[in-house]
Amino acid sequence: MKIGVIGLGAMGAGIAGNLLAAGHDVTVWNRSRGPVDALVAKGAQAAAAAADALQGDVLVSMLASDEAMRAVGLDGPLLDRAARGLVHCNMATVSIALAQELSEAHARRGLGYVSAPVFGRPNVAEAGQLLIVAAGADDALARLAPVFAAAGRRTEIVGAEPHKANLFKIAGNFMIVSVVETLGEAFALLRKGGVDHAQFQEVMAATLFAAPIYQGYGKLIVDEAFEPPGFTLRLGLKDVNLARSANAALGGYLPLGDLMARHLEEAIAAGLGEKDLTAATALIAKKAGV
């Protein structure tokens, strides 16, 4: 299959690498040249311009935010230069509003559009073991089956309307940030009382909270392994705010979202924005006096 990939950060590069390993014809484009050259060395073709990545069967995009999507032109201008019948698989975490806008923009041009955001950090993307959450028309999803097979260990279809996959992912990331907040506060409480928080983490992660999110993130916090970031604190705030925006549009109730946003904003003001999301716990510990 002829596949274009736009956005070669740690996640996008891992996905593109696995598409190459699966034998696909991959054309890559990125705003900075380094990741492009690394993939060209593995057999990819370099796009001279972003539009060159839209000339195949499928476009995969993995950009950091709504603003990055618009800056590249994937909300409209770039689509005018796409090959007929192209299916765009957007694997990034974007707002519900943008997902709906993208669906309409693609439909007007006769292009397929699927939201397929992923759960997993860069090492998981590189290993091709992502959890993919996808929504879109049946024919577009069928076209993307080889992409999903190369990039993930499981693909969960959550509906025909693409934005529903984004809501699914936003809710999941909201839970991840809440786990970091919970662990940070619990560890600070234990340290304040002279109890070994590393021992606590080991016991809890092996028994009552025997799940990857508690095991992996808990160890990062105990080890204070905040660099290099697998997922930056700044992006964590972005995703919490996406949840808050979706909640406001739907008329829901999300008080924890306001609390976490405030704490992450404080952490960014303290200079932790480009460290791993788990670095938010360093500020919690400092405020607790430990």
Catalytic residues: 169
Q: What is the bridge-based pairing of β-strands 25-29 and 2-6?
A: parallel
**Are 5 and 63 contacting, i.e. CB atoms less than 8 angstroms apart?**
no
Calculate the alpha carbon distances from 37 to 58, 223, 239 in Å.
21, 34, 30
18: which 2 tokens? 């696995």
Rounded Cα–Cα distance for residues 100 and 215 (Å):
35
**Are 221 and 186 contacting, i.e. CB atoms less than 8 angstroms apart?**
no
Bridge partners for 87 per DSSP: 58, 112
